[in-house]
Amino acid sequence: CFACIMGSINSVFNAHFVKQEKANIHVQNIILYVFGIIFNFAMYFILRTPNSSIFHGFRNVGVILLLLLNSCVGIAITLLYKYGNVLLKTMTTPVASGVLVFVSYLFFGLSLDIVKTV
């Protein structure tokens, strides 16, 4: 459950950072993304295997689209932190998951069973 604890700490830190700083929300977003890049590169260099490449798997258009869409989600979460709070963000995550299951059913013909979808 280490990931749950770290995710919770990260959410509270980010919400505190966004609410306390008086800078423009876009500047705050850039700062948060820079920290994300630093931590991800650190984990890559700590956990990498000898023959791995940092761009392994990025030749797929779906992967690039997923990265772009997750960037939009990151911007939306920053707005939630700024104008809402961590609890609002936490409550919207399961709602978004339910909506995604329904959209997957409509567009891709996948099962509406959330257990099989996860």
Q: Which of 30, 18, 33, 28 lies closest to 82 in space, CA to CA?
A: 18
Q: What is the DSSP letter of 111?
A: -
pLDDT at 118: 53
pLDDT in tens, 27-49: 878 877 888 888 888 888 888 88
pLDDT at 117 over 60: no
Report the distance separating Cα 48 and Cα 54, nearest Å. 9
Report the distance separating Cα 22 and Cα 111, nearest Å. 45
Which of 3-7, 9-13, 111-115 has the least mean pLDDT?
111-115
Query: Residue 87, exposed/middle/buried by CB under 10 A (0-12, 13-18, 19+)?
Result: exposed
Q: Which of 89, 87, 94 lies closest to 118 in space, CA to CA?
A: 94
> Model-level pTM?
0.56
102-107: Cβ within 8 A, 24+ apart: none
